Chains A and B, each alone.
Chain A
Amino acid sequence: MALQDKYKALVDAAKNAGVQNLQVREQNNVLYIDGQAATGSVKDQLWNVYNSIDPDFRAGDVVLDVKVDDKTAGTKATVTTEKSNLNIRKGPGTDQPIVGKAGHQDTVTLISKTNEQWWLVRTESGEEGYAYAEYLSPQ
């Protein structure tokens, strides 16, 4: 219960932001907060609240898994890497061979979701392969 008190502002922020399927569980001295946010900005806001309670996430007593289900098969996404190219791979994993690259700020077509981390995509030059979802922002 102590952790629920420590992170009350975070849980309240999640409730107020309308996070769906919100689950708050305290287990073995870790607080697990799960749910689905409507937009990436809601997720960012919650991470900012978390960081304000536990700067740099030093305590390691929260696992915050707020998913943003904002990608849809058949639509397009922008490659939002920091500045580098995004590797397009033969399979979903960084141990898989690179079959192509998409440039920073290029557009790719989302073909199908493999899991929370990986999407099958098609680049503008027609290469198909798997890309890390973190660096794909829906248009």
Chain B
Amino acid sequence: MNNKFLSYSLAVLLAGGLTLTSCKDKKATTDSNTTTTTLDTLTTTTAPVEVSGDEPLRQGVADATKDFPGVNATVTNGEVNVSGEIARADWMRLKPMLDALNPKKVNNQLTIK
């Protein structure tokens, strides 16, 4: 009985210790449900990429594309899909605005004039 209790206590302590250790290196703002690839160069990090939710993304995409009337944009599962027509110089302005919204990716189906 005592041994069982000791084993159980030890398991709880170990699990607690592991949880603390695994949380230690993560930044407070990251989503722990996201997985990431660990890479071994100076500039890489193990913190997962934060992707915006679809609703804030939709609002941000609407704001960003407002002044590009030929562009249709939709948001699905964190991905921004852009189609329609745009001038090359305008696309050079718009893509940075979209990337700044933290999408999972931007799918370019645009006809570039």
Contact = CB atoms under 8 A, between A and B. Distances in A.
Interface of A: 1, 4, 11, 14-15, 22-28, 30, 32, 43, 47, 51, 56-58, 60-61, 63-65, 67, 81-82, 84, 93-95, 116-117, 132, 134
Contacts of B34: 27
Given A24-B39, A25-B36, A63-B99, A94 B63 contact: yes
A56 B86 CA distance: 11
B105 interface: yes
12 contacts: A11-B43, A24-B43, A24-B44, A56-B91, A57-B91, A57-B95, A63-B102, A63-B103, A64-B96, A67-B100, A95-B62, A134-B97
Contacts of A64: 96, 99
Contacts of B35: 27
B9 interface: no
A20 B100 CA distance: 16
A60 B63 CA distance: 21
Contact of B41 (A4, A117, A134): A4
A63 B96 contact: no
B41 to A, nearest CB: 7
B71 interface: no
Contacts of A30: 104-105
Given A51-B92, A94-B66, A134-B93, 20 more contacts: A23-B43, A24-B41, A24-B44, A25-B37, A25-B44, A25-B48, A25-B49, A27-B34, A27-B36, A27-B48, A27-B49, A30-B105, A60-B106, A60-B107, A63-B103, A64-B96, A65-B100, A93-B63, A94-B63, A117-B64
A93 B88 contact: no
B10 interface: no
A108 B43 CA distance: 37
B106 A15 contact: no
A42 B112 CA distance: 25
Contacts of B103: 63
A13 to B, nearest CB: 12
B104 A26 contact: no
A119 B88 CA distance: 27
